Amino acid sequence: MLNRRNMLHGMAAGVGATFGASLFPERIMASPVNNTNPRRIIFFMQNQGFDPATCVPKGMTSSGSLAKARLPEPIEALEPYKERLHIINGLHGMHTSPSHSAFFGALGGYRGSDGVPPSAPTIDYELSKVLPQTLLPHLCIGMDSIENMTTKPTIATLSASGAGQPIFMHSNPNHLYQMLYGGISTGDIRLQHEARSNVLNQIEKLAAANGRSLPTTDRQRYGQYVQGFKDVNGLRDRLDTVSDHLRKFAPAVDERYTKPEFETDWHDVLLDLGISALTSGITNTLTIGSGRGQIFGAWKGLGVEDQGHNLGHMKQPDNPIWIKIRQYNSRMLVRIMESLESVPEGSGTMMDHTLIVYTSNNADKQHTNGANWPVMLLGNFNGTFKTGCFTQLDGKRPINALFATLLRVAGQNIDRFNMNDQLARKFDTGTGPLKEVLA
């Protein structure tokens, strides 16, 4: 016999995964297009660490221009885009205790570990509240092996809307496509969308009716689940109201969705869906987890047979395996930039108002103490960040300082992010934004 409470709890978790935020989004969006000061941000998190030798040009030991530098082989796909690139070396995350992965701590700037719940909101979620409002405030997608993405189509390890409130990543592109574009599809996708919609509507009504007979303490929790179903049903309805607009941006569905040869087929179409959500205006905050914030991950489609934890025990510099993986990531970054560059916005393009943050959920390597946490920025976020340069910091400021900087330029006047005075005295020699990276 099915346990009703467990079943409802599981479905409510799915609702949270669908929404890309907590079960109660703080805002209800009215339009996918917002013409006032458009800005958007993308976090691309690679697992197993980001060795500085794979991004810092040889011979560069101090801050300077990238104009005459040659980018390392792993990121050579970004060579034509150097004027949009800012490489930062010398931030730290020692207080996050990353080891195999900092998990939620990588974007939260606090202690994280396997099985440790988030202790506060992560920077991607906080930015989604500050940036111009959209129908779907925050979208998270996660890339892994086919086996992992199939058996666990949603997983929460990187983003959070608050303490104990993880945000789920979408890893099955079929599910994500149905959520975003099921209402404008035909054939089987449309039938599946309608069937799922009918089920969620019925559960919402049933849950709302049955919850009234529960004790007060259970009724409050039950009400949270009911609200989750209302939210996802409301999202579907709002997407339906802009169906004509969405048709212009929906990716074509091909066999990579239903018959992927390699996991990279799903990685590629997940990226397409993430890009379409940005260009259509459904969201302005996208988090991509390559390896899904854990120690796993697979890239057989690149000819890389090794996968998972073993990859982390391989040195990254001059390693042909890691060169392939990092080059693949760099090509993904190029696809994002080119897609946003192709969409006019204001007096420029969408890319002019976008910032891409590329780093790792595990500082510089696996089994690290987090003393160095390299980051690459692409774009200038409406001219607020320096580009075409390399910045070498002294290792005394944490990743939290970068996150505080992001919130500052997005319009929130803060000096610290998720770091109280006691913690700052031990791990941060400064306060306020990183002036070295601002234009």
- pLDDT at residue 32 in the model: 39
Distance of alpha carbon 22 from alpha carbon 91, whole angstroms: 30
Residue 254: CB atoms within 10 Å: 10
Q: What is the pLDDT of residue 234?
A: 60
Q: Say if 40 falls within a structural domain.
A: yes
Q: How far is CA 22 from the centre of its chain?
A: 15
Looking at residue 195, its pLDDT comes to 47
Report the alpha-carbon distance of residue 109 to residue 96 in Å, rounded. Answer: 6
Indicate whether 210 belongs to any domain.
Answer: no
Q: Rounded to whole angstroms, how far apart are CA atoms 61 and 333? A: 25
Dihedral of the alpha carbons of 384, 389, 394, 400, in degrees to the nearest 10: 40
Nearest CA among 234, 238, 166, 235 for reference residue 21: 166
* The pLDDT value given to residue 192: 58
Query: Alpha-carbon distance 416 to 414, whole Å?
Result: 6
In a domain, 27, yes or no: no
**Which residues, in sequence order, are CB contacts of 167 under 8 Å at separation 6+?**
16, 20, 21, 22, 122, 125, 138, 140, 156, 158, 159, 160, 161
DSSP-based three-state secondary structure for 345: strand
Distance CA 276, CA 273 (A): 5
What is the gyration radius of the CA atoms in the chain, in angstroms? Answer: 21
Residue 430, token pair as written in the block: 């400064």
CB distance 249 to 276 below 8 Å: yes
Measured distance CA(188)–CA(257) in Å, rounded: 13
> What is the CATH classification number for the domain harbouring 158?
3.40.720
The pLDDT tens digits along the chain (439 residues) read 333 333 334 334 344 443 333 322 333 233 334 445 689 999 999 999 999 999 999 999 999 999 999 999 999 999 999 999 999 999 999 999 988 899 999 999 999 999 899 999 999 999 999 999 898 889 999 999 999 999 999 999 999 999 998 998 999 999 899 888 886 655 555 555 554 555 445 555 555 555 555 556 555 555 555 555 555 556 667 777 787 888 889 999 999 999 999 999 999 999 999 999 999 999 999 999 999 999 889 999 999 998 888 888 899 999 999 999 999 999 999 999 999 999 999 999 999 999 999 999 999 998 899 999 999 999 999 999 999 999 999 999 999 999 999 999 999 999 999 999 999 999 999 999 999 999 9
- Name residue 232's amino acid: V
Which residue intervals of 357-396 are DSSP H helices?
none
Global pTM?
Answer: 0.86
In which domain, by residue range, is 425 found?
A: 36-176+254-434
Is residue 167 situated within a structural domain?
Answer: yes
212 assigned to some structural domain:
no
SS3 101: coil
Strands 85-92, 389-398: pairing is parallel
Q: Are 285 and 138 in contact (CB under 8 A)?
A: yes
Would 333 be classed as within a structural domain?
Answer: yes
Burial class of residue 174 in the structure, from the number of CB atoms within 10 Å of its CB (0-12 exposed, 13-18 middle, 19+ buried): middle
Phi, psi of 155 (to 5 degrees): -155, 150
> Do the domain assignments include residue 248?
no
Task: Say how many domains are in the chain.
Answer: 1
Note whether residue 199 is domain-resident. Answer: no
Distances (CA, A) of 425 to 31, 384, 393, 395, 398: 44, 28, 18, 15, 12
Which run of H or of E encompasses 131? none
Alpha helices, H only, 65-158? 105-108, 123-130, 146-151
Spell out the SS3 assignment of 105-117: HHHHCCCCCCCCC
CB-CB contact of 303 with 348 (8 Å): no
